[in-house]
Amino acid sequence: MSVHPIEYRYFYPEMKKIWTEENKLEIWLKVEGILAKVHAKLGNIPQSAADEIERKSNLNFVKLGRVKEIEDEIQHDLMSMVETLTEVCDGEAKNYVHLGATSYDIEDTALSLQLREAIKIIENDLTELKTVLLNLANTHKETICIGRTHGQHALPTTYGMKFALWATEIQRHLERLTEVKKRVLVGKMTGAVGTGASHGEKAEEIHRLVMRELNLEPTSISTQVVQRDRHAELVVKLALVAATLDKIAREIRNLQRTEIGEVMEPVRIKQVGSSAMPHKRNPHRSERICGLSRIIRSLAFSSLENVSLEHERDLTNSAPERIIFPETFILLDYMLKQMSQILNGLEFNYDNIKRNLEMTRGLIMTEHVMNGLVKKGMGRQEAHEFLRNCSLEVIKTGENLKEILLNRGISKYFNENELEWYLNPRNYLGNAFKQVETVVTKLKV
């Protein structure tokens, strides 16, 4: 029976498969087979023995059930695999399984192979999300809306700016993953404390050739394990991706609030928002992304704790990593795919966007008017104080800023047409359209 939600709820099959016990065992076996192949190439073991080990190093011969049986007796998962592989090998090949290796030569090298597969899926997810955001940015380049700072109406902006901004952040995550791969996709075949003593004079060649066969970078130096600063960097970078998704989802949630109502998550025809309130349409998918982001960020902390292993290693990283890597990758893959779906189906309420833009009866244009007054000869601080007092009157009386300004004698600086121009949000967007165009052109795949 399933217990963890990544087993039955928050997952997509391709990523989940990478972290199954079967797949991990299969990759361990692959590394064992390559090790035997390299030993034979260097003349350390008979070619026939290497061929037999390679032929049997897969799930057709090494069964997970048998590995589990042995593990239950000896309490060592990697050695259980070694004993099972030894059992199924014929002839002298039995004598050479796992020759010269320590457990984490196999486990850390195999982990890098898993990470390579998993990172590729995340990169594809990020690229898809970036494409969705760029399409939205281009479509909504001129969808003018109110910008908010400190939760208050500030100045006009556009939805194109929002989406383009998020797209550039996704691009930075792609660049970060490209950078971290050269440090995390490494392997080792250097023995129990990293000296290579168990492989004798050919230790350096074995280390290098095994990694070449697996298309991994060999560590330049290690202890019994690949150092965990590499893995911590990766998990922290993935936590950054989760933080961005949290930010986007939080914005959608806020914009879907009844009082704002500018955008809404897509909804299915039979979707239920509440068991008690039939009218509810909740942004539950965005809320889920925000919640899962908390889990991934907490896992980054555990990954940082794994850096400080004692002496040439202890086992304190092992148990956390069995949780950290599957949870981080499976949940992040789920969140990224969900976010692309949400954004692809995002619904816009243009009436509410316009309503909110006009809600403060012109107050959002005071900076524009102030700058105009300065051009007409009024001092900047004087203009600021004048408009601050006018703004207080708008709030107190409920009148429009235009009416208050006209009553306070602004006509000696602007005629009515000029004032209308300064109060039009479309005329105070700076180079917003150009910024969006530049981002879309630069990042378009």
Q: Which residues belong to the active site?
A: 150, 274
Structure tokens at 120: 């590729």
CB 299 within 8 A of CB 242: no
DSSP-derived secondary structure letter, 207: H
Print burial letters for 3-29: b (CB count within 10 Å at least 16), e (below 16): eeebeeebbeeebbebbeeebbbbbbb
What are the residues whose beta carbons fall under 8 Å from the beta carbon of 82, sequence distance 6 or more? Answer: 32, 97, 98
Question: Whole-angstrom Cα distance, residue 59 to residue 71?
Answer: 17
Q: Is the dihedral of CA 381, 386, 392, 398 positive or negative?
A: negative
CB 122 within 8 A of CB 336: yes
Residue 273, φ and ψ in degrees, nearest 5? -90, -30
Question: Whole-angstrom Cα distance, residue 327 to residue 5?
Answer: 10
Structure tokens at 234: 């990766």
**CA 98 to chain CA mean position, Å:** 36
Structure tokens at 310: 């004692």
Residue 101, φ and ψ in degrees, nearest 5? -95, 155
Pairing of strands 186-187, 152-158: unpaired
Pairing of strands 347-348, 263-264: antiparallel
Helix, strand, or coil (residue 212): helix
- Going by C-alpha positions, the residue among 300, 307, 301, 308 that lies closest to residue 328 is 300
